Structure 1
Amino acid sequence: MSILYKTSRLLHKQAHGIQVNTCRWNSTVKNGFIDEILSSKKALAKITTLSNRIGLQPKFPMNTLAQALIDKTAVQNASVSNEKLWTVGKILSDMYVLEKIKCLYPRLPEKGVQALQGGLLDSRALNRLGNSWGLEVQRWNEDPKQAYGKVLAKTTEVETTRVAGEVYKPDAMKRAILAILGAVHLEGGFKESKKFVDSHIFSRQLEPRTMLQILYPRRQLARLCRRLKLKDPVYRIDAETGRKSREPVFVIGAYSGPFCLGQGQASSLDLAEQQAAYNAVLSYYIHSPPFEQFPSETLQTSTASFSPIPYISPGELVL
């Protein structure tokens, strides 16, 4: 068995209410608080609407979805809250997002990887996702019974905790969404959880070039050419206009031998050179080679074959 497969089996066994023989979440366990929530017609309508809106299976148990909306701050009993579901969802979301970033952009520096991951999974991103679902978090002064059907969480008044200039984004929404992902996985397996992540978390397209900050681009390009055993970069003017006017424009290319590594355009020769070097280094980092499959596609069975990515990055440039 692969390590990932053994880990997935361990996750199934550790989750509360799991039936080890069938590897499914035991959604028939009776719980008074969850039953009380579902006894409210208004709450049941909200939860059913949420289930349909996010594309869950028709047979998906409503009590499991209701439990995913109970934050650990709202109840003292951890078995009632979404804490264990959230733990499973957190592991799965990190795995799916990181493997996609690493497979698509194997040369991307670690800071760029973390920025992309944060853009998809941080509190702000998942709050926007929850808002697009119509999901709400219990207000700090709202009666819990009136908040049934929302994300139940104990929060404080925003103005007493918010730092000046900071946008208040509670983590309760993030934990609820990841708990729903964990519930989807425990009910439907890797296939359904992967489908859920593709449909919702990866629905937001992030451009890696906006997540990367390159300092000293000319020095980095020179170091990169030496690493790749290319000739040192030479900067040439490809085009220019208005040199003696108030608004000149220079187009400069960064060349290594006969190859143009990048082009830059600016109002001065120095800035155009820096832009050309920046674009050359950036195109190296965000290169996306073709690959056949994601590693998680082998988790359905322990005997599944895997075709590794045909490229391994030598690492980030160090100046």
Structure 2
Amino acid sequence: MINLEILLESIGSFEERINYKFKNKKNIILALTHSSYANENRNERLSSNERLEFLGDAVLNIIISETIYNNYPNLSEGQLTKVRANIVCEQSLVKCSNNIEVGKFLLLGKGEDISGGRTRTSILSDAFEAVIGAVYLDGGMKNAKAFVYSQMEHLIKDSVSGIIFLDYKTQFQEIVQKDGEKKIAYEIVEENGPDHDKEFVAQVKVAERIIGKGKGKSKKEAEQAAAKAALEMLSTK
């Protein structure tokens, strides 16, 4: 059972952290409610943040697309797509989520909480997008833009400058397939550690030949690390 007084106090602290005060507190409570909590507390008839994350993802993409389109007129369509992908990738969203300590305020089921859900990358990135959706529903596009800019303006500039995380898989594919189609395959070859702190090892093959290996806290991160290693190997040839 939710202690309403404690919950509202927590919401107030979060509002101060993101510099936005919700007119309807239900919007931000929904954004911070993980499916594990909703499932464990069905008698409270709570929904999870999954639908709101879906909306926030769409809002974030239009904000970032419009921003880089208007501010960087010299970028081609392909370059705009890459810049946007760098900004809205899981790694960037997790950084933003950690900056405002989303994990601290999440409503999680007991099992999810015990197993490290407050630091799980997928939960944090989804919750950050749900917060964007909540701000959009509560205050419209103007406030959603202000929130996104406050959290991601530096990521936009760094992405255009090529400083932050790059999509190594795309770069590797472009190099390998520039002279024709070659089959590229990624495989997860190891999983180490407990469920709440997994480490994955991935390898990338070209025509059945292993080109690179890499580690990461998620399968996607491990695949990107493998692609990065493959790129580094190619650059030494």
Relative to the length of structure 2, the TM-score reads 0.55
Correspondence list, 1:264-275, <5 A: none
Name the residue aligned to 2:31: 68
Mapping of residues 39-188 of structure 1, within 5 Å: 39=4, 41=6, 43-57=7-21, 60-76=23-39, 80-110=47-77, 112-136=79-103, 149-152=105-108, 154=112, 170-188=121-139
- How many residue pairs match? The answer is 158
The answer to whether the 8 A contact 1:65-1:183 is kept is yes
Tell me what 1:208 maps to: 160
**Where in structure 1 are there 5+ consecutive unaligned residues?**
1-35, 138-148, 159-167, 217-319
SS at match of 1:130: helix
In the alignment, the residues of structure 2 paired with residue 194 and residue 37 of structure 1 have an alpha-carbon distance, to the nearest angstrom, of 31
Q: Could you list the per-position Cα deviations for residues 257-313 of structure 1 after superposition, in whole angstroms to 9, with x for gaps in the alignment? A: xxxxxxxxxxxxxxxxxxxxxxxxxxxxxxxxxxxxxxxxxxxxxxxxxxxxxxxxx
- Decide which structure has greater helix share: 2
Identical aligned pairs, as a percentage?
Answer: 23
Matched, 1:37 2:2: yes
The answer as to whether partners of 1:151 and 1:173 remain within 8 angstroms in 2 is no
Which residue identity does 1:37 align to in structure 2? I
- Following superposition, the deviation at residue 95 of structure 1 comes to 0.5
Larger Rg over CA atoms: 1
8 Å CA contact retained: 1:124, 1:169: no
Separation of aligned partners in 2, 1:50 and 1:99: 28
Q: Which runs of 5+ in 2 are unaligned?
A: 176-237
- How many angstroms apart in 2 are the aligned matches of 1:210 and 1:117? 12
CA distance in 2, matches of 1:101, 1:169: 29
Distance across 2 between alignment mates of 1:201 and 1:37:
32
Shift of 1:206: 1.3
Deviation at 1:122, TM superposition (A): 1.8
Offset at 1:81?
A: 0.8
If the length of structure 1 is used for normalisation, what is the TM-score? 0.42
